[in-house]
Amino acid sequence: MSTPYWGPDFDALAAFDPDIASVVTDELDRLRSGLQLIASENFTSPAVLAALGSTLSNKYAEGYPGRRYYGGCEVVDRAEEIGIARGKELFGAEHVNLQPHSGASANLAAYGAFMQPGDTLLGMALPHGGHLTHGTKVSFSGKWFNAVQYGVAEKTEHIDYDQVRDLAREHRPKMIVCGGSAIPRLIDFAVFREIADEVGAILMVDAAHFIGLVAGKAIPSPVPYADVVTFTTHKVLRGPRGGAIVCKAEHAKAIDKAAFPMMQGGPLMHAIAAKAVNLKECLQPEYQTYARQVITNAQALTEGLAAEGLRPVAGGTDTHLALLDLRETGVTGKDAEARCDAAGIVLNKNAIPYDPQPASIASGIRVGSPAVTTQGMTESDMKSIASLIGTAIRDEDGSRTAEVAAGVRELVGAHPAYPEPARAV
């Protein structure tokens, strides 16, 4: 290094702005002191955080490496080139775009590459496990496109592929989207490919939730089947908050033009550098061990919760998350979330397929294992967590909150997140 490193100076922040410094430390305390079971969250590494908190944040670099609209991009170009090469290697992808600011931006760019307003989009309904951006009425995807929605079969709670085929034949969508935010089972990408080919549709896989499991070679990849795969970089993948797109070479130009200049302006070069660091982490053999343990833990947690009387939707999980139907306990998702939260267990209420409750109440909860697995927890810890959740959910009057909180403290004490000692502010 020819220049001394100039990175985040927490003491300077604390001296200048103690209000925000205390937000930073309080949030670290919150992460360390509770069980983080939100299926879409994780603990990113110090190396990723170092790239994120760097002076790369200063650079405007509209365009792509070697083809920018600003001078002085020769250094940041290297970060994007390295990241793209790593993404291609990791996913066996023909083309990679690391510029989307988020998963929603990645999806917006993918739609923009192939569709005009008013075109038909076939996506999975949000209450069945899909995503806001897959055609929900309140999202641009439902407002600007003719969104047709498929779901899961009521009996099996697995994706209803017959319905997908029937709807595709009836509506001849321009794009078919699979993936979502509460799908515990594997998706059959080959069937989606077959349906897309039959009706001449572009197949997009929104792999945000499970791309980390693909990167870790723990589940099959959608890349060989899909025209375009969008994802976020901060879930199981464990990178910085952000989005990315991989696609076939034939769609590269359209995707790049849709990401910039159609949907976004200047890329966040600090985030792109952090994505590159994360992709290097995912190429290490240890990451594959992590990805397999994420699934093992999710399955152990699901079994434990089933033993507590919480019914696993779709009969269990093949991935990092489980959806639990609470109706047999008589407790709503909303109350379950609040009772767990009071004891330091952070999870979210979630609609279950064909939910009789509104989404703001919900009959289910969603749990995920990415963060607790990063902390080094294993199957026996998942059994303990399941038992704590079961106790918390049934604890109508809060009389057992302290007991559950003590159990949480024991677990996180044995497996601390960001284990360095706290700094005094």
How near is the Cβ of 146 to ligand DSN at its closest, in Å?
23
Tell me which residue has tokens 């706290």: 422
Residue number, 83 or 370, with CB nearest to ligand DSN:
370
CB 142 within 8 A of CB 124: no
Give the tokens for residue 119: 């075109």
Question: Is there a catalytic annotation at residue 80?
Answer: no
Residue 181 as a binder of ligand DSN (CB under 6 A): the answer is yes
Question: Is there a catalytic annotation at residue 60?
Answer: yes
Nearest-angstrom CA–CA distance, 404 and 308:
15
From residue 35 to residue 64, what is the string marking binding to ligand DSN with x (rule CB under 6 A)? -----x------------------------
How near is the Cβ of 44 to ligand DSN at its closest, in Å?
16
Under rule CB under 6 A, which residues in 343-382 are in contact with ligand DSN?
Answer: none
Question: Is there a catalytic annotation at residue 62?
Answer: yes
Q: Name the active-site residue from 62, 119, 188, 379.
A: 62
Decide: residue 337, CB within 10 A, 0-12 exposed, 13-18 middle, 19+ buried. buried
N-to-C CA span, the chain: 31
Q: Which helix (H) or strand (E) holds 212?
A: helix 211-215
- Which phi and psi angles does 119 have, rounded to 5°? -70, 160
How near is the Cβ of 232 to ligand DSN at its closest, in Å?
7
Residue 103 as a binder of ligand DSN (CB under 6 A): the answer is yes
Give the tokens for residue 410: 């024991």
Beta strand ranges found along 138-201 (DSSP E) = 146-150, 175-178
Question: Which of 361, 353, 310, 311 has its CA nearest to residue 335?
Answer: 361
Task: Please tell me the count of residues contacting ligand DSN according to CB under 6 A.
Answer: 4
State CA 272 to chain mean position distance.
Answer: 17
Question: Is there a catalytic annotation at residue 409?
Answer: no
How near is the Cβ of 131 to ligand DSN at its closest, in Å?
6
Residue 141 as a binder of ligand DSN (CB under 6 A): the answer is no
State CA 247 to chain mean position distance.
Answer: 19
Q: Name the active-site residue from 86, 235, 349, 366.
A: 235
Its sign, for the CA torsion 316, 339, 413, 21, is positive
Question: Is there a catalytic annotation at residue 241?
Answer: yes
Q: Name the active-site residue from 41, 60, 308, 383.
A: 60
How near is the Cβ of 40 to ligand DSN at its closest, in Å?
3
- Cβ atoms within 10 Å of 256's Cβ, excluding its own: 21
Residue 390 as a binder of ligand DSN (CB under 6 A): the answer is no
Q: Name the active-site residue from 80, 157, 206, 381.
A: 206
Question: Is there a catalytic annotation at residue 206?
Answer: yes
Residue 233 as a binder of ligand DSN (CB under 6 A): the answer is no
Residue number, 130 or 216, with CB nearest to ligand DSN:
130
Q: Active-site residues: which are they? A: 60, 62, 206, 232, 235, 241
Q: Which positions touch ligand DSN (CB under 6 A)?
A: 40, 103, 131, 181
